[in-house]
Amino acid sequence: MSKLVSWQELPCGAIITDTKRVLENKTGAWRSFRPVWNKEKCINCLTCWIYCPDAAIILKDGKHQGINYEYCKGCGICAEVCPKKVQAITMVKEEK
């Protein structure tokens, strides 16, 4: 979380010029279910990457590398769109 500032220090109209700042806003704590990715089952179709409403599917050289839990909100879309014959992603209850 970035430093909180007073009203005098804010940009006019809440315009954000430092667009990388959104990375500081970790939203993974919202999750109540976590997707668990099975590397052995994954066929690398990247449907989950396309459908993820955030950018929580980690991709490297066009290959699925796992899930970024700092931003994943546990919506379950990735598990839902993972092909029925593959089922490489399962949702498990988040436990403290």
Partner 1 sequence: MIVAKTGNEAMAYAMKQCRPDVVAAYPITPSTEIVQIFSSFVADGLVDTEYVPVESEHSAMSACIGAAASGARAMTATASQGLALMHEMLFIAAGLRLPIVMCVASRSLSSPLNIHCDHSDSVASRDSGWIQIFCESSQEGYDSVIQAVKIAERAYLPVIVAIDGFILSHCMERLEILSDEEVSDFLGEFKPNYSLLDTKNPITVGPACLPDSYFEHKRAEAEGIRQAKGIIEEVIEEYRKRFHRYYPVIDEYQAEDAEVVVLAMGSTVGTAKIAVDELRAQGKKVGALKLRFFRPLFSEKLVASLRKFKVVGILDRAEAMNSYISPLATEIRAALYHQTEKPLIVSYVYGLGGREITQEDIKVVFEELIHIKETQKVKDEVSYIGVR
Using the rule CB under 8 A, give the single segment among 16-24, 28-36, 42-50, 58-66 that binds partner 1: 16-24
Question: Which among 38, 31, 27 is positioned nearest to 95, based on CA atoms?
Answer: 31
Q: Which residues contact 18 (CB under 8 A, 6 or more apart)?
A: none
Cα–Cα distance for residue pair 52/57, rounded to 1 Å: 7
22 binds partner 1 (CB under 8 A): yes
Q: Which residues contact 38 (CB under 8 A, 6 or more apart)?
A: 88, 89, 90
For residue 16, the minimal CB distance to partner 1 (Å) is: 4
For residue 51, the minimal CB distance to partner 1 (Å) is: 22
29 binds partner 1 (CB under 8 A): no
For residue 39, the minimal CB distance to partner 1 (Å) is: 34
5 binds partner 1 (CB under 8 A): yes
Cα–Cα distance for residue pair 70/72, rounded to 1 Å: 6
**Interface contacts to partner 1, rule CB under 8 A:** 4-8, 10, 12-17, 19, 22
